[in-house]
Amino acid sequence: MYQYITPSFKLAVFSCPHCNAIAHQEWSNVYLYNEYSENYDVVDYLSLSFCGNPNCHERAIWLKDKLMYPCLSTAPLPYDDMPSDVKEDFLEARNVVEISPRAAAALLRLALQKLMKHLGQEGKDINKDIGELVKKGLPVKIQEALDSLRIYGNEAVHPGEIDLKDDKETALKLFKLLNIIVQDMIIQPKEIEDLFNRLPQLKLKGIKDRDKK
């Protein structure tokens, strides 16, 4: 599972916006030479963080509590095994979330619609697709994650009771929800199936014979 800690001001450890590795961060003030006093004055609205990853050591520039450089998304990356067409929309949403959380939520809803096809559904009516998955025994928490992503995404396209225009915090949580859904519905079953299929043929036959009784 991909681990990601959103870069935050003065946080000691987070995912480096340059190399994406979770690394300790060294924080430093910015000083400017004052030609009148002949001293170096602290620029109180600027800070630097330096990545502790020995293969990186890149710096990030912060204006007050906001990351200014590099201008990268603070949203988590998609899991490696996320279907490629779903991942494409996920990454596009990630690129715009800092500018427009509402646009990001709408793109994540589109990603969810595409994901439904990978879960054996039609991928046309997400609400109907979720209902079909519930009939097949979908875990309650995954159903809640699916419906949350569906509704927030719908509201981003057709504003109603929920306004995501400037709500980046909620939009960032939607990225995490989609990763959780992929982890539970695609990655874990794949890992279990792979390990199960490695069992000796005699053991597999024994299991099949047992279940016929």
pLDDT digits (tens, 9 = 90+) for 106-153: 999 999 999 999 999 998 899 999 999 999 999 999 999 999 999 988
- The whole-number pLDDT of residue 112 equals 94
pTM here?
Answer: 0.67
Residues 128 and 176 in one domain: yes
Residue 207: inside a domain, yes or no?
no
- The whole-number pLDDT of residue 99 equals 82
Residues 127 and 175 in one domain: yes
Residue 209: inside a domain, yes or no?
no
Residues 62 and 102 in one domain: no
Mean pLDDT is lowest, of 53-57, 145-149, 166-170, for 166-170
Residues 61 and 94 in one domain: no
Residues 91 and 192 in one domain: yes
Residues 47 and 146 in one domain: no
Residue 203: inside a domain, yes or no?
no
Residues 91 and 191 in one domain: yes
Give φ, ψ of 16 to 5 degrees: -60, 130
Using one digit for the tens of pLDDT, what is the confidence trace for 62-113? 988 888 888 777 888 899 899 999 999 998 899 888 888 888 999 999 999 9
Among 46, 69, 92, which residue terminates a domain? 69
Residues 88 and 191 in one domain: yes
Average confidence score pLDDT of the chain:
88
d(CA 164, CA 103): 9
Structure tokens at 65: 């509590």
89 exposure class (CB count in 10 Å sphere: 0-12, 13-18, 19+): buried
Q: Structurally, how many domains does the chain consist of?
A: 2
Residues 64 and 103 in one domain: no
Residues 129 and 31 in one domain: no
200 exposure class (CB count in 10 Å sphere: 0-12, 13-18, 19+): exposed
Domain residues for the domain of 43 are 13-69
Residue 76: inside a domain, yes or no?
no
Residues 61 and 89 in one domain: no
Using one digit for the tens of pLDDT, what is the confidence trace for 4-27? 788 899 999 999 988 889 999 999
Mean pLDDT is lowest, of 1-10, 51-60, 114-123, 162-171, for 162-171
Residues 56 and 120 in one domain: no
